[in-house]
């Protein structure tokens, strides 16, 4: 297990030639052709419940995830502020049941950011409160994940104990939603296995679905539905019997991965939110920013670590517009 952890710690870190995302934020304006906006964006046209949630106070951090203050959810998600470097802490939960199926949710059409898009089980933010500010063993983030699983999906706290969340890695990424709103966050990736009872909050979630690895592959193989297939190079082996989370992931990489690729992506045209499967060690590779030698090293490392049980074929998928990011499905 330790050998596998070391392999992935070595391989999933960005190549040293990749620039820090903050150094290239100025390029976003020309790519997205954003107009200069005031932070006083009107919320009158949005759902009242969602507007109220915009008053929550998020945790502001620097690029090393050091806490530097707090600001409203509204201010944290305005592209006018994101373009100036405003960065906050967040999390993404991937919940698998005992059949190794991943719970996905479709965001409600009432959501202000990324409405109607499919994403992983739960994506949200720890708040600037004493309980969720605590950083030892990511306990504040775990508490926030437990709170939001209950709020969005009605999952009882007892079904997702804090100790059952496994922390995988952190990602520094930026994703515009519609030119006004977007995300710029240090995102904690949490994995949990649990059989849960759902009571969906329709103001937050439009639909839910459990998908196996094979289901995901079929879904992603339909370019008209969820994604489009990469045809230029096949990078990862696929195995219909693979188990995403059979073993405890235990801190594969505690460093912060810079999702530099997201800094150059147009607002999403796909029905999938970009944070789905974002940068899980061993599953995702940003091909554009890796030299061929490191691509080969990563694939060899995954095989050597026996991350997947067998190698039946090589296949890689992406969703959203170019430049692609790649997921092993």
**Could you please report the per-residue DSSP string of 274-286?**
TTTTTT-TTTEE-
Q: Write down the pLDDT at residue 196.
A: 98
Neighbours of 266 (CB within 10 A): 14
Catalytic residue among 185, 227, 279, 318: 185
Taking the C-alpha atoms of residue 107 and residue 113, their distance in angstroms, rounded to an integer, is 9
Q: Write down the pLDDT at residue 77.
A: 94
> What is the residue extent of each domain of the chain?
2-327
pLDDT tens digits, one per residue of 14-24: 333 444 444 44
Asked if residue 191 lies in contact with residue 94, where contact means CB atoms within 8 angstroms, the answer is: yes
CA distance from start to end of the chain: 22
Q: Write down the pLDDT at residue 220.
A: 58
Neighbours of 243 (CB within 10 A): 12
Is 266 one of the catalytic residues? no
What dotted CATH number matches 2-327?
3.90.79.10
Is 185 one of the catalytic residues? yes
What is the three-class DSSP state of 226? Answer: coil
Give the chain's residues under pLDDT 70. Answer: 1-39, 217, 219-329
Catalytic residue among 122, 123, 227, 318: 123
- Please count the CA atoms within 13 angstroms of the CA of 232 that sit on its side-chain side: 6
Q: Quote the pTM value.
A: 0.64
Asked if residue 315 lies in contact with residue 234, where contact means CB atoms within 8 angstroms, the answer is: yes
């Amino acid at each position: 297990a330790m050998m596998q952890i070391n392999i992935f710690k070595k391989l999933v870190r960005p190549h040293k030639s990749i620039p820090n995302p903050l150094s290239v934020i100025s390029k976003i304006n020309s790519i997205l052709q954003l107009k200069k906006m005031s932070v006083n964006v009107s919320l009158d046209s949005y759902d009242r419940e969602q507007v109220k949630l915009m008053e929550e106070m998020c945790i502001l951090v620097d690029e090393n995830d050091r806490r530097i203050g707090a600001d409203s959810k509204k201010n944290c998600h305005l592209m006018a502020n994101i373009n100036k470097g405003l960065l906050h802490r967040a999390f993404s939960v991937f919940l698998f049941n005992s059949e190794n199926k991943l719970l996905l949710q479709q965001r409600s059409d009432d959501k202000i950011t990324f409405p109607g898009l499919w994403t992983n089980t739960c994506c949200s933010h720890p708040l600037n409160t004493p309980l969720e500010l605590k950083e030892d063993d990511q306990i504040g983030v775990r508490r926030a994940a437990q709170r939001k699983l209950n709020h969005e999906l009605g999952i009882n706290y007892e079904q997702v104990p804090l100790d059952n969340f496994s922390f995988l890695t952190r990602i520094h990424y930026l994703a515009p939603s519609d030119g006004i709103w977007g995300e710029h966050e240090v995102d904690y990736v949490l994995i949990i296995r649990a059989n849960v009872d759902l009571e969906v909050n329709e103001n937050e979630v439009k639909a839910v679905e459990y998908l196996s690895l094979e289901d995901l592959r079929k879904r992603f193989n339909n370019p008209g539905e969820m994604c489009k297939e990469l045809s230029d190079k096949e990078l990862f082996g696929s195995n219909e019997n693979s188990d995403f989370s059979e073993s405890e992931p235990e801190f594969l990489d505690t460093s912060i991965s810079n999702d530099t690729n997201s800094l150059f992506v147009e607002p999403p045209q796909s029905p999938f939110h970009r944070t789905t499967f974002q940068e899980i060690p061993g599953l995702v590779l940003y091909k554009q920013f890796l030299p061929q030698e490191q691509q080969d090293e990563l694939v060899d490392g995954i095989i050597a670590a026996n991350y997947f049980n067998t190698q039946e074929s090589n296949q890689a998928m992406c969703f959203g517009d170019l430049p692609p990011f790649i997921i092993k499905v």
